[in-house]
Amino acid sequence: MKPRVINMNEGNKIDYEIFGNKIIFADELMLNLEKYERDDPMHIDVCRDEFGCLCMGLANNYVAQIDIPAREYEYIEDGQDEEGNTKYRQEAKPFDMEKVVITLWEVKE
């Protein structure tokens, strides 16, 4: 399961590896993307600061942006209420890395 990758511009991009739900940028910053899934879409900026270190959030230069769609749910029958109506419980679907979008920006060496 690989995320969709968009190259925002020309030039060199940061090295990254994906292991399951985790992405590692330049062997320096690791994010478990499943931990960032919410009920609303999540946007994560990965930047390089003035010291050349990778960080989450805004800094000097964009390196990547990660967009994680909102968590999806399914409704499962869960017995009946006191009036005989079917009850349902909400259960989160498993995290799907293929729905994640990673946008890579040019990095200056």
- Which residue's entry shows tokens 């920006």? 105
Give domain limits for the chain.
Answer: 4-104
The pTM for the full model equals 0.87
Residues 6 or more apart from 51 whose CB is under 8 A from it? none
From first to last of its 109 residues, the chain has per-residue pLDDT tens of 799 999 999 999 999 999 999 999 999 999 999 999 999 999 999 999 999 999 999 999 999 999 999 999 999 999 999 998 999 999 999 999 999 999 999 998 6
pLDDT of residue 29: 97
Query: Is the Cα dihedral 50, 3, 90, 32 positive or negative?
Result: negative
